[in-house]
Structure 1
Amino acid sequence: MRTVIIIIFLAIYLILALPVLIIGFIVGLFSKKDQYKIGKFIVTHLCRGIMFLTGSRVTVTGIDNIPDETVLFVGNHRSIFDVVLLIKVINRPFGFIGKKELTKIPYLNLILKLMGGLFLDRSNLRAGLKVILAGIDMLKKGFSMLIFPEGTRNKNGEEPLPFKQGSLKLAEKANVPIVPFSIKGTDNIFENTNGLKVKASKVKLNFGKPILLSELPEEDSKKSAVYVRSIVVDLLSDMLPH
């Protein structure tokens, strides 16, 4: 029943948001900053509605660890609801790097581009490099970004998959802090249910303290992906009952 209600909500919301979407792209011809604000406004209210309709209970900790500056959000990836949750919680416009397949979904691709989405084709190294460079450019211009350095959703086990070293180049080259985060329970909303059912879940989101790669000891700096992953694992452990 929740699935049907969410689909109806999506359809109605996206129809009503169409004029604002068009305005956003027109504004973007003159100011990308204002375009991303409009995109974040549209998507934030959409995500708040979706999370409410799932019936899930969300607990957020460490939100005060997010500094008032441009950052790269880095964390584990469990569900398609991860991005929905993060957009709902993070109170600022931010872009992200997602898989190219998202561009094939009508309307959704426009909304994601409006809020600064970049899309990675894993089969094309040259195109992938351009996406990374575009992400670095966004960070240097003052727009925060979100990445899931596992490269795909982790469908087995609680601990995240190995982080890809190249994904942290964005923070390194733009010299911005990494804000690590851990997510637990979003996969129980949809992925772990039978069929296409949406179920209420206890969801936890935990933000850690900022990490500036240039300030890491040399040993950790060389293997920054391993280091940042270890922080995310610790954040996950903090959410488990002791």
Structure 2
Amino acid sequence: MKRIALIVIRVILRLPYWWGYKVNKYKHIDEYSIQERYGFIHRVVAIVTRKGRVELECYGIENLPKESGYFVAPNHQGLFDPLAIFQTHSRPIRAIVKKELASVILVKDIIKMLEFIPMDRSNVREGAKIIKYVSNEVANGQNFFVFPEGTRSRNGNNILEFKGGTFKIATKAKAPIVPVALIDCYKVFDNNTIRKTTAQIHYLKPIYYEEYKDMHTNDIAKLVHDQIEKCIKKNDKG
């Protein structure tokens, strides 16, 4: 991918410090707070985005609940999606990621440093345990994001159906759900170009427990899906 190569070339002198020192240091999670570890990634991603000739437009950050312990539900377009969240979300936020990423060089170190939760999507029993664990973490004030589509759409700004099971985390934790619309994020790494690219991230108004407590998780999934889809259609510049 040309843009990844461009980023590596433009930050190559920083890499030994970032990964050779900082990441190895912050992998010792008992010695450093999540705020310090996440703050490092938050700053690095802003540099990486700029060096990659990407302009990220952020809207609705004021919609995030003032108190931590909420569930962020974005649509999934590509590799840039987590970076868009890291760059715009200043408070620490964790995620559930597919198990395969836990063995990818460099990525596995970030997963450990940020205390992300790898999950084998084919193991139903393990999945149930992870949902329970994450819901407890959210109830205790941790923020989490999970892509409800389960995989990236691979179809531009069109989104897939959202999986209801994802929202069990929020219902068990009685936590606010923050829908997030990602627009044109797929262009960053999926298009084989280094031309300047603009992507958007929209934090929509949260849906609080009192609003969804009587709804089935599939209905919650559709509600969030439709809000994100409406935002995408309104702001897609073609």
Q: What pairs with 1:12-51 in structure 2 (closer than 5 Å)?
A: 12-17=13-18, 18-26=20-28, 28-29=29-30, 34-51=32-49
Structure 2 residue 206 is the aligned partner of structure 1 residue 210: yes
Which residue identity lines up with residue 223 of structure 1 in the other structure?
Answer: D
TM-score by length of 2: 0.88
RMSD (Å) for aligned C-alpha atoms:
2.3
CA distance in 2, matches of 1:185, 1:222: 26
Cα pair 1:35 1:114 within 8 Å, conserved: no
Amino acid aligned to 2:43 = H
Q: CA deviation at 1:11?
A: 5.3
Question: Is 2:94 the counterpart of 1:95?
Answer: yes
User: For residues 45-124 of structure 1, what are the structure 2 equivalents within 5 Å?
Assistant: 45-69=43-67, 70-124=69-123
Secondary structure, aligned partner of 1:98: strand
Larger deviation, residues 170-179 vs 219-228? 219-228
Distance 2:24 2:126 in 1: 28
How far apart in 2 are the matches of 1:223 and 1:204?
A: 26
1:142-182 CA-partner distances (Å, limit 9, x unpaired): 11001110000001252311111010011111111011110
User: Does 1:229 pair with 2:225?
Assistant: yes
Are the aligned partners of 2:3 and 2:188 in contact in 1 as well (CA < 8 Å)? Answer: no
User: Are the aligned partners of 2:77 and 2:156 in contact in 1 as well (CA < 8 Å)?
Assistant: no
CA contact (8 A) 2:39 2:90 kept: no
**Could you tell me how far 1:15 is from its partner in structure 2?**
2.5
Separation (CA, whole Å) in 2 of partners of 1:105 and 1:10: 20
Cα offset for 1:83?
Answer: 0.5
SS of 1:92's equivalent in the other structure is coil
Cα deviation for residue 131 of structure 1 reads 2.0
Structure 1: distance between partners of 2:25 and 2:217: 43
Return closer, same or farther for 1:48/1:238 CA change in 2, 3 Å cut-off: same
SS in 2 for 1:206: strand
TM superposition score normalised by structure 1: 0.87
Letter in 1 for 2:160: L
* Number of equivalent positions: 235
The AA in structure 1 aligned to 2:60 is G
* 1:43 to partner: Cα distance: 1.4
Amino acid at match of 2:108: N
Identical counterparts, % of pairs: 25
Distance across 1 between alignment mates of 2:11 and 2:102: 18
Deviation track 1:181-201 (CA, whole Å, cap 9, x = no partner) reads: 10111111121x24xx44431
Which amino acid in the other structure matches residue 21 of structure 2?
P
Q: Which runs of 5+ in 2 are unaligned?
A: none
Point out where structure 1 has 5 or more consecutive residues left out of the alignment: none
Residues 71 and 143 of structure 2 are in contact (CA less than 8 Å); yes or no, is this contact kept in structure 1? Answer: yes
Taking the aligned partners of 1:188 and 1:157, their CA distance within structure 2 comes to 8
Task: Return the alpha-carbon distance in structure 2 between the equivalents of residues 164 and 190 of structure 1.
Answer: 25
Residues in 2 aligned to 1:127 and 1:40: alpha-carbon distance in whole angstroms: 26
SS of 1:172 mapped into structure 2: helix
**Contact 1:188-1:199 at 8 Å conserved across structures:** no
Tell me the distance in 1 between the aligned counterparts of 2:166 and 2:196: 32
Q: Which whole-Å deviations, capped at 9, do the CAs of 1:107-156 have from their partners, x for residues lacking one? A: 32122221121111111112222222221122122110011100000012
